[in-house]
A and B are shown apart, each in its own frame.
Chain A
Amino acid sequence: MSGLTAELKRGLDAPICLTWELTYACNLACVHCLSSSGRRDARELTTGEAKALVDELRRMQVFYVNIGGGEPTIRRDFLEIVDYCVAGGVGVKFSTNGAFIDAAMARRLAASEYLDVQISLDGIDAATNDAVRGAGSHAMARKAMDNLAAAGFGPFKISLVVTRHNVDQLDDFKQLADEYGAQLRVTRLRPSGRGADTWPELHPTNDQQRQIYRWLLTHGEDVLTGDSFFHLNAIGEPLPGLNLCGAGRVVCLIDPIGDVYACPFVIHDEFLAGNVRDRGGFAQIWRESDLFLSLREPQAAGACGSCGAYDECQGGCMAAKFFTGLPLDGPDPECVGGDGELALAGVSPGSAPRSSADHSRPVRPSPVTFVRR
C-alpha cells in the first residue's frame, strides 16, 4: 500500500469528491436507480438552505461537487444553486438524463465556467438503453448531447453504467464520445436503490468482468471511472486511480433532504452519519461523526484475509456487499476469484437489507408528461 493510500484511508479534512443529490424527483424511472428516485420529498432543502450549505463547502475548501438526483434540473432553482456554487469557487459537475437541456439551456450552460455536464446513456442504441432507462430516454439524451455540441459547450461527459447487455458496446461508446469531442465515463452497476431488484439480471458475468478490466486497462486515463472498478485489480496490473473504498474517507453523499451518507451507493440508516440541518452542520459530520470516524479505522479483511489478492482489490465495494446480503468483511459479490458467487449462493432470498428511502413513483398504466415545477 502506498503512503498516500494509507493517508487517504485515515480520512481528509474535507471530502475530495462530494455527491450532492438535489432532489428525489425524476422524470424517468431507471430500473437501476441508486436512490430509488421518482417523487420529490417535501423535506428537500430550500434554496436558502442549499446556499448555506454551499457557503459551508466553500469554507471547507471543497473544490467541486457532483450534483445529481433524481433529475437535478427539475428543480426550478437549479441554475441559481449552480451559479452560487461556481461564483463561490466550488466547481460543479452535474449528472442529468438531458430532458431539460434544450438549445437555450445548452447555451446557458456553455457560458458558465467550472461547470461540467454528464449525460447518462446506458445503451448505444435505443433498444439497449431504453430497456433500463425507459422509453424515449435514448433519444432524449442524444438530443441533449446535440444541443450541447451545437452550443459549443466543449467536452461534456457521457456516463455509462456497464451492464451485461451493454458491455460489448464499450468501443461504440468510446467512438460516440470521440465524435462529440466528449469524454466517456464508465461506472460500475451497484445493487443499490432499485438496482437491488435488477442487479442479479443486469450485472456483468465473471467473464465480462475480465472483459471490462482489459478494456479499461487499454483505455487508461482516457476514460473516467470514478475509481469504481478497483475490485477488478485482483486480476493483475492495477487500473488507474485510487485503489480504495472512499466511503467516509474521501467521498460522501448529501441527499436531497440533507441526510449525509458514507457514499452515494449506501442510502441506508446503517450508513447515515447525520443531517446538514443538525447543529454543527456538514463540517462536524464529516470530521466527527461516529460513522465516518469508524470507516477511517483499519477495516478487517475477514474471509478475504487469506486471499493473495486482498491488497489489490481491498475486498471490493462495501455497498455491493451490503445490499446483496454479504458480510462487509468478506468478498465482493463480483469478486473475480469467484468467491462472491459462492458467498451469494448462501444468502437466503429476501434477507438482504433494503434501502430506507424509496421515492419511486407508483407504476402507472400509461406514460405521463412531466413538467418542471
Chain B
Amino acid sequence: MRAVEVSRARADRALELSPRVALRPEPFGALCYHYDTRRLVFLKDRDLVRVVETLRSHDSLTATLDACAIADSRRTAFARAVAALIESEVVRERADG
C-alpha cells in the first residue's frame, strides 16, 4: 500500500502535530480540526492520540512508538494512521528533523 510506503520513508523523520490543528479529547480518542483546510479528522484510538501528541518530543516516529510502548503487532497500523495524518496535513515533518 502506498500509505505504508510513505510512512516507512518517514519513520525516521522528526514529526509534529501541525500548529494549525486543534485537538480535542473525546471518549473514543480525539477530534482534530485543521484551521486551514477546515477539515475534521477523527483519531479513533487513545494510544494514537498519545502518539500524535508526543511526536514533537521525539526524533522519529519509531522513537515515539517506543516511548509510548506501542506493541510491535500494532506498529504497521500506527504507521499507516500517521501516514494518513501527514496526507491530511494534521501531522507534518518538523523543520529541525
Query: Which A residues contact B (CB, under 8 angstroms)?
Result: 3-4, 7, 10, 12-14, 16, 61, 63-64, 89, 91, 113-114, 116
Interface size on B, residues (CB 8 A): 13
Contact A16 B27 (CB under 8 A): no
Contact in complex: A14, B24 (CB < 8 Å): yes
User: Shortest Cβ distance from B84 into chain A, in angstroms?
Assistant: 14
Give the docked Cα–Cα distance between A369 and B72 (Å). Answer: 70
Measured CA separation A61–B24 after assembly (Å): 7
How far, in whole Å, are A114 and B35 apart by their CA atoms in the complex?
Answer: 7
Inter-subunit contact B24/A89 (CB<8 Å): no
| A-B contacts, CB under 8 A, total | 38
Question: Known contacts being A3-B44, A4-B44, A63-B24, is A16 close to B31, with CB within 8 Å?
Answer: yes
In the bound assembly, the distance between CA atoms of A311 and B32 in angstroms comes to 27
Q: Which residues of B contact A16 (CB under 8 A)?
A: 31, 40
With a cutoff of 8 Å between Cβ atoms, the chain B residues found around residue A10 in the complex are: 27
Tell whether B22 is near chain A: CB-to-CB under 8 Å: yes
Interface string of B42-81 (1 = CB under 8 A from A): 1010000000000000000000000000000000000000
Chain B residues with Cβ under 8 A from A3's Cβ? 28, 44
Given contacts A13-B26, A13-B27, 15 further A-B contacts (CB under 8 A): A4-B28, A7-B26, A7-B27, A7-B28, A7-B44, A12-B31, A14-B24, A61-B24, A63-B33, A63-B35, A91-B33, A91-B38, A113-B35, A114-B35, A116-B38
Q: Does B97 contact A (CB under 8 A)?
A: no
Q: Which residues of A contact B26 (CB under 8 A)?
A: 7, 12-13
Query: What chain A residues lie within 8 Å of B22 (beta carbons)?
Result: 61, 63, 89
For the complex of A and B, 10 pairs with smallest distance between CB atoms: A63-B33, A7-B28, A61-B24, A12-B26, A63-B22, A114-B35, A4-B44, A13-B26, A4-B42, A91-B35
